[in-house]
Amino acid sequence: MAKVTFREDECKGCGLCTDACPKKILQLSKDKINKKGHHPAECVKPEECIGCASCAIMCPDCIITVER
Amino acid sequence: MIVFERPKSLIDVPLHYCPGCTHGIVHRLVAEAIDELGIEGKTVGIAPVGCSVMAYDYFNCDMIEAAHGRAPAVATGVKRSDPDNLIVFTYQGDGDLASIGTAETVHAAARNENITVIFINNAIYGMTGGQMAPTSLPGQVTQTSPYGRDVNLCGYPVKICEMLSELEGPEYLERVTVNSVKNVRNAKRAIKKAFQNQIDGKGFSLIEVISSCPTNWGMTPKEALQWIDDKMIPYYPLGVYKDRSAGILCNPNKEEK
């Protein structure tokens, strides 16, 4: 079971992970605001994650951990 | 099983870069290369002046802050003090390496100093607020060229890889980018090779990374990565410009022009 976790408070909401995801299951949260004042990235359909780590490879702040 | 996590050579603190700035990706690639080659304990990094001036807060190895543009000169001194045990890399932006530090860069390459240089080219002065850099594209709008860079007034951009590839000195010159997953993987291979060259004692390796600056280009992070594809790469073609050990001694794109 693939799993992707974000350290939400360090996310700057750039959205590069959402573009990199081949399954298009990541989005910038519409209702949450983190400590920095950004809308953090989140996984909307965790069950569809394939654990390819494309999001983590493109994350400039290195806040994504991928397990498989 | 964890397939991706923060590398150990990257200290666990938030990076100060703007949202979507690809400096963070390149920091991570350098840290991953240090981890994978197992050289964490003997690596010395030289930080530049520019956006990445605080690189010494992020890499989990010894770091020295050099005067503006003088990182290759400092790296030369560090490396020559203990050439058998130390691994020395510099991490420089285009305002540092291609502008005030051109002399140090060219002469370190000409001497074939056994160091690794990571050169971030984002075609603008980021930290000081988006002034025109030596690498700004012709016609590019910046704070100091509001009608676009006029080549009759300001001259043409400096192409570092092409320029250095004419020298006999350097061992390895490659230009890569980090605007997609594929290109990030390729950049990682190049950076790792640059460190491996130093471990093998081959000499001067420079990796030019075409990077983005969403804030000063006035774009969203996504548009900035597209702009790299549309504008930067046609002007700064990617590829290996020199690999003396493999017999590549000239500019790969020369025939096309």
* Residues 6+ away with beta carbon under 8 Å from B81: none
Per-residue pLDDT at B255: 57
Q: Where residue A1 falls among pLDDT bands split at 50, 70, 90?
A: confident
Q: Which residues have a Cβ under 8 Å from the Cβ of B136 and sit 6 or more positions away? A: B123, B124, B142, B145, B149, B157
Question: What pLDDT is stored for residue B249 in this prediction?
Answer: 76
Residue type, B169: G
Q: How far off is chain A from B17, nearest CA to CA, in Å? A: 8
- Tens digit of each residue's pLDDT (9 = 90 or more) over A16-59: 999 999 999 999 999 999 999 999 999 999 999 999 999 999 99
> Is A15 within 8 Å of B214 (Cβ atoms)?
no
> What residues in A contact B181, CB-CB < 8 Å?
20, 54, 57-58
Note the pLDDT of residue B251: 65
Q: What is the DSSP string of B113-139?
A: -S-EEEEEE-SSBTTTTSB--TTPPTT
Q: Which residues of A touch B217 (CB under 8 A)?
A: none
Give the pLDDT confidence score for residue B147 in this predicted structure: 95
Distance CA A66, CA A56 (A): 7
- Inspect the interface and report whether the beta carbons of B4 and A53 lie closer than 8 Å: yes
**Which residue's structure tokens are 């160091």?**
B115
A20 contacts B3? CB cut-off 8 A: no
Which residues fall within 8 angstroms of residue B257, CB to CB, at 6 or more apart? none
A vs B, Cβ pairs < 8 A, gives 73
- Is B20 in contact with A16 (Cβ distance < 8 A)? yes
Q: Which residues of B touch A19 (CB under 8 A)?
A: 222, 225
Q: What is the pLDDT of residue B46?
A: 96
Q: Which residues of chain B have pLDDT under 50?
A: 257
Chain B residue closest to A37 (CA)? B19
Q: Which pTM does this prediction carry?
A: 0.94
Chain A positions in Cβ-Cβ contact with residue B14 (cut-off 8 Å):
10, 61
Give pLDDT, residue B248. Answer: 78
Partners of residue B32 in chain A, C-beta under 8 Å: none
Q: H-helix or E-strand containing B6? A: none
Contact criterion met (CB < 8 Å) for A65 and B15:
no
Taking CB atoms and an 8 Å limit, are A62 and B184 in contact across chains? no
Task: Give the pLDDT score at B253.
Answer: 64
